[in-house]
Amino acid sequence: MIAEQGRLAWQIATGYGQRSLVETTMGRYKSLIGPRLRARGFVGQQTEAATGVAVLNRMLQAGRPDSIRRQPVIA
């Protein structure tokens, strides 16, 4: 498909840009929280995971655009 229609058409057809955004977000998450849990006890692991989820949700919310639905203009 790349040879026939070009790289941009392939990216749009496969959703490659969305995948790239997700991978970037996970990379940021791992750099902040780390790729594994550090707590030894189960309760500590649960707390660490919950904190990680809260950080990830806040990062995603910060990068999400504020969209406003507009009323269609009738000509």
- The per-residue pLDDT for 55 is 83
- Whether 37 contacts 45, CB under 8 Å: yes
> Has this prediction a pTM greater than 0.85?
no
User: Residue 23 pLDDT > 90, yes or no?
Assistant: no
Decide which of 17 and 75 is more confident. 17
User: Residues near 11 by Cβ (< 8 Å), separated by ≥ 6?
Assistant: 17
